[in-house]
Amino acid sequence: MEKQGNIKISSENMMPIIKKWLYSEKDIFLREIVANAVDAITKHQKLVGLGEAVAEENYRVDVRTDEKAGTLTVEDNGVGMTEEEVEKYITQIAFSGAADFVAKYEKANGDGIIGHFGLGFYSAYMVSENIEIFTKSYREDAPAVHWESDGNSTYTIGDCEKPARGTKIVMHIAPEEKEFLKEATIRTLLHKYCAFMPYPIYLNAKEGEENKPVNTTEPLYDKQPKDCTEEEYKTFYRETFSDFNEPLFWIHLNMEYPFRLKGILYFPKVRKQVELERGQVKLYCNRVYIADNIKEVIPEFLMLLNGVIDCPDIPLNVSRSFLQNDSEVQKIAKHITKKVADKLIALYKDDKEKYEACWSDIATFVKFGCIKNDDFYNKIKDVIIYKNLNGEYRPLTGYFGEAVSEADAKEGKEPQAVYYVSDESKQAQYISMFKEAGLDAIVCDTFIDPHFISYIEYKNPTQVRFLRIDADIAEALKAGGEEDKELAEIFTKAIGDKAKVKTEKLKNTSVPAVVNVSEFMRRMSEMNEFYRMGETPAEVTLVVNTACAAVEALRGAEEEAQKTAAEQIYYTALMNYRQLTPEELERFTATSVALLEKYLRK
């Protein structure tokens, strides 16, 4: 006989809230219903273990779509429920659970994590206009039960025919949610939320045929690292992230104490070097997918990686602000950071060749990680490597000098200068002069390097400062000697206020002049450009090389020739610094032509 009843709490309050709240993440209803099915199976298995239920060989969850009938069904062969239990857990608890939910809603309002709440059974009403439950308890004497409700204030309950143990949830999908009747949609959702659930889940399994479950009941991260092969790691990566590029390497996290945490983080190959590519770190709680890239749990910089992390202990049913302040959660973030640092250090020590081969792919991640996280920097600073002018990698800290004491600093002593190149082809002239003099520089040519070297200076203010190779004339390039007033005067006359003129006797005798822009000025103007604060012309210095014969020859020349030649030398030097503007190029052409004419007519 069917009975009727009133649902215990004023559900008129609840449904609009559920609907409004979860609107953006309606999908999760499927996770909740399937998770309940899995829970029911787990309970049954425990009872079997206790000798209280008859063993079952084929635990399974079956999901079925029926577009014609307009139903989505989830069926399990778990513990099932007696009528009493349906009353207690579905009618009363679920609805009073909703009261709790409303209370939490009030507290967590606007926090956004609600989509990750286990809203449970009733979340299915986000997409259903009516739900039926058919269930038969493992208790042999209990009759099967049928329950039905439209989620508003009434329900019916009564006996039914259901020989097999377990629960069948039939969701009558609302007309505007027809999407959830499509097999493809449901398959995608099962992949997203249920990929690692511990019992096989079948979608529209066909009778009499061999069917493949949609999930993996033994995700690789759950195994002991020592039992996993390289091939398995790669396959798991491919299947989980649909990335057919092989990962560079990975870290298998597996700990029990002081909290439980399992997972695998993969370092992907980067496609572009010009920006930060966001990765995907999927967070699971006991095999149930929660969300991607939850920044309260996983340090932001690690989100450049791909990975899965399962933390059964995270209190995910609380608000984000709580997570942010929770010391357990912070410990998890710290632990993961440490593991990543350990892995990098171990790889550097054990397989430097591989480390160097991977470096261009992981460098952005490492540098970004340092900037974002001092602890991370402190741990890995000795394995941050840079290429030198010969293309060999060396640790950056190897270039640092002795710390300059405060007293020495007062005397004007500066921290060790490390020269760098930002573009090997554009700065070719400076590079060849450097090499000639036996000097070295590091190559800083990725978009993050300018930020990173500033960070390094900030962290090591007494030990290092970075100078771009064209910022000044390194001492070792100089051959000594005094300022040459006469030549300086010739150049100043020729180029006016286009640049400041200095003379220097260099070891190199073939380059007549080089352009320098001070590191500070150049960084300022780059920063202004970055923030679009308009032009700040950086002051250019023309360093005239008195050791060059062509420069020396200017001394005796007639004034007109002096002027033309000096201007020509200036543009040649400028051209080795940056691209000329159309006006400059025009002047350069004019001076070249004038000089050629003179030379050829001689």
List of residues contacting ligand ADP (CB under 6 A): 32, 36-37, 40, 76, 78-79, 81, 89-90, 93-94, 97, 118, 120-121, 167
Shortest separation between residue 311's beta carbon and ligand ADP, angstroms: 18
Q: In 496-548, which ranges are continuous DSSP H helix?
A: 519-530
* CA–CA distance, 585 with 594 (Å, rounded to integer): 14
Is 3 exposed, middle or buried, given 0-12, 13-18 or 19+ CB atoms closer than 10 A? exposed
E strands within 142-208?
A: 145-149, 154-159, 166-173, 201-203
CB 166, CB 42: distance < 8 Å: no
Give yes or no for residue 97 binding Mg ion (CB under 5 A): no
The smaller minimum CB distance to ligand ADP, of residues 118 and 151, is found at 118
Least distance (Å) between residue 122 CB and ligand ADP: 6
Find the angle CA(410)-CA(413)-CA(417) to the nearest 5 degrees.
140
For residues 120 and 307, which CB has a smaller minimum distance to Mg ion in the complex?
Answer: 120
CA distance 202 to 186: 11
Choose among Mg ion, ligand ADP, none what residue 417 binds, the Cβ cut-off being 5 to 8 Å by kind: none
Residue whose CB is less far from ligand ADP, 77 or 306? 77
Of residues 22 and 490, the one with the C-beta less far from ligand ADP = 22
Near Mg ion by CB under 5 A: residue from 70, 78, 80, 120: 120
Query: Helix count (H) and strand count (E) of the chain?
Result: 18, 21
Pick between residue 76 and residue 567 the one whose CB is nearest to ligand ADP: 76
Q: 3-state DSSP call for residue 76? A: strand
Structure tokens at 559: 């004034």
Task: State the angle between helix axes of 519-530 and 449-459 in degrees (0 to 180), rounded to the nearest 10.
Answer: 120
Residue closer to ligand ADP, measured from CB, 139 or 498: 139
Among Mg ion, ligand ADP, none, what binds residue 259 when CB lies within 5 to 8 Å by partner kind? Answer: none
**Residue 40 or 433: which CB sits closer to ligand ADP?**
40
Q: Which is nearer to ligand ADP, 97 or 415 (CB)?
A: 97
Residue nearest to ligand ADP (CB): 120
What gap in Å lies between CA 547 and CA 481, rounded to an integer? 10
- Token readout for 432 is 């060849």
From ligand ADP, Mg ion, none, interface partner of 380 (C-beta below 5 to 8 A by class): none
Q: How far is the CB of 261 from Mg ion (least distance, A)?
A: 23
CB of 249 to ligand ADP, least distance (A): 38
Q: Which DSSP letter does residue 218 get?
A: S
Q: Which residue has the tokens 């798991």?
A: 236
What's the distance, CA 37 to chain centroid? Answer: 34
Tell me 223's DSSP state: S
* Least separation in angstroms between CB 240 and Mg ion: 24
Closest to ligand ADP by CB, 61 vs 544, is 61
* Least distance from ligand ADP to the Cβ atom of residue 77, Å: 10
Q: Least Å distance between CB 288 and Mg ion? A: 9
- Least gap, CB of 118 to ligand ADP (angstroms): 5
- Closest distance to ligand ADP from the beta carbon of 85 (Å): 7
Q: With b meaning 16 or more CB within 10 Å and e meaning fewer, what string describes 500-510?
A: ebbbbbbebbe
- The entry of Mg ion, ligand ADP, none that residue 79 binds, CB within 5 to 8 Å by partner kind: ligand ADP
Residues 31-50 that bind Mg ion (CB under 5 A): 36
Q: At what angle do helices 559-575 and 485-495 cross, to 10 degrees?
A: 80
How many residues bind to Mg ion according to rule CB under 5 A? 2
In the list Mg ion, ligand ADP, none, the entry touching 551 (Cβ below 5 to 8 angstroms by class) is none
Binding-site ranges for Mg ion (CB under 5 A): 36, 120
